Chains A and B, each alone.
Chain A
Amino acid sequence: MDPIPYRRETPGTQPPALWPDYRSTVLRSPRKPLIALPHTLSEVTGPIFSHDRLQPNDADLTSQHKDRPIGDRMIVAGRVIDENGRPVAGTLVEIWQANSAGRYFHARDSRDAPLDPNFTGGGRTITDDAGQYRFITIKPGYYPWQNHENAWRPAHIHFSVFGPSFVTRLICQMYFEGDPMLPFDPIYMSVPSEAGRKQLCAAFDYDLTVPGFGLGYRFDIVLRGRDATPFEADDHAH
């Protein structure tokens, strides 16, 4: 029996390969049409990671060094769901981000802003049975980049998620609702629809806020889903 395919990408919801406002796409964007690949076993399978992959403090970016990092401590939490609204349980979520001064712990980030010896900016966790994840980190700073005159990235956290198959892989960036830099950012603006862009903005959340500790932000992530099958419909009836 053929594997159940995933739903194809919804047209008009993802950034194009060539987006000249983001200069680096020009030489790194295929120009020949992509070839539509029907989903075989090679596409509906994918790596599944166990908790062995995790180190202590992987989900708490403020506890990975001797002292606390400088910056506004915050909780970033949410759910990973699929396009049918079902939780994606047991999936690896990885994040990376700049420190509170807007500098990455990275050899190629030579900008004139301080490194924080107590902040590497990398995190990793696995979603629970309800698809939930939770990180403790600090709010990332803005940083300038060379894309255009006076270019600044909005505050953001990079997210990498696998989901249950090769097809469900996602890398995205989390932004903050109301950030004034958003409309000037060609990476954010490469997501075609306003609804799609809004979906990438974390919202302040009182319920996630921990008294005396840090503000909470909610960020839900949606991975590709499958069309409901008669089998699944039947399953739901029970």
Chain B
Amino acid sequence: MPIESGWATVGPFFHAVLPWKDGGVMAGPETKGEPITILGRVLDAEENPINDALIELWQANAGGKYNHPEDTQSGEIDPSFQGFGRVAADAEGSFTVKTIKPGPVRGLGNSWQAPHIQISVFARGVLKRLVTRLYFEGGPGNEHDPVLALIEDEERRETLMAKPDPKESGRWHFTLRLGGPRETVFFDV
């Protein structure tokens, strides 16, 4: 049996190809759901900004449905929403994504997953992508989410929580830390 090809870092020079124009604009004015802006940052173990990171996002639409043939949940695909985003970090390690808040998605068994966005982090010095999730602080269903429940250390669950902007509603702050005392929880998928 063949085995998955060996991963490699994206290196520092992927920008001519991978970050599409408007890759961080996942939703348009016609997209159903609550528009949100994610203001993200990527930091290394010493809290230095990572200025050559690439972030990919994958999420369900406002009805909790993925635009994919294996999502056989009831509900409709929103033709204006693929659910995929891809954006490069800037000189300050910051990135901006405009999307809509995803709906809850079925989990395994009879469980339900709270609204969340799948996140992949690529960068120079990251040999294999890092996988995490973004949840919304205070969001409905977080306390029963089966994936958050896998994280035994409750304090570490906080690392997956996007925080609402205190001044402007619809804006969410999300920081990824690739190491250090406040290291983000990463998953083995």
Contact = CB atoms under 8 A, between A and B. Distances in A.
Contacts of B4: 9-10, 13-14, 83, 170, 222-224
A144 interface: no
B127 A25 contact: yes
Interface residues of B, number: 69
A152 interface: no
Given A37-B150, A38-B108, A30 B6 contact: no
Contact of B44 (A16, A17, A28, A46): A28
A106 B12 CA distance: 9
Find the residue from B5, B12, B113, B151 having the highest chain A CB count within 10 A.
B5
B45 A25 contact: no
A166 B60 CA distance: 12
A32 interface: yes
A47 B147 contact: no
Given A83-B3, A109-B13, A222-B3, A158 B183 contact: no
A228 to B, nearest CB: 10
A112 B109 CA distance: 58
A3 B70 contact: yes
B105 interface: yes
A48 to B, nearest CB: 7
Contacts of B107: 40
Given A35-B187, A170-B4, A108 B13 contact: yes
Interface stretch (A68-76, A117-125, A131-139, A205-213): A117-125
B95 interface: no
Nearest to A186: B127
B126 A28 contact: yes
Interface string B63-104: 000111011010000000011100000000000000000000
B70 A28 contact: no
A94 to B, nearest CB: 5
Nearest 6 Cβ contacts at the A-B interface = A24-B125, A191-B6, A47-B84, A45-B68, A122-B17, A28-B125
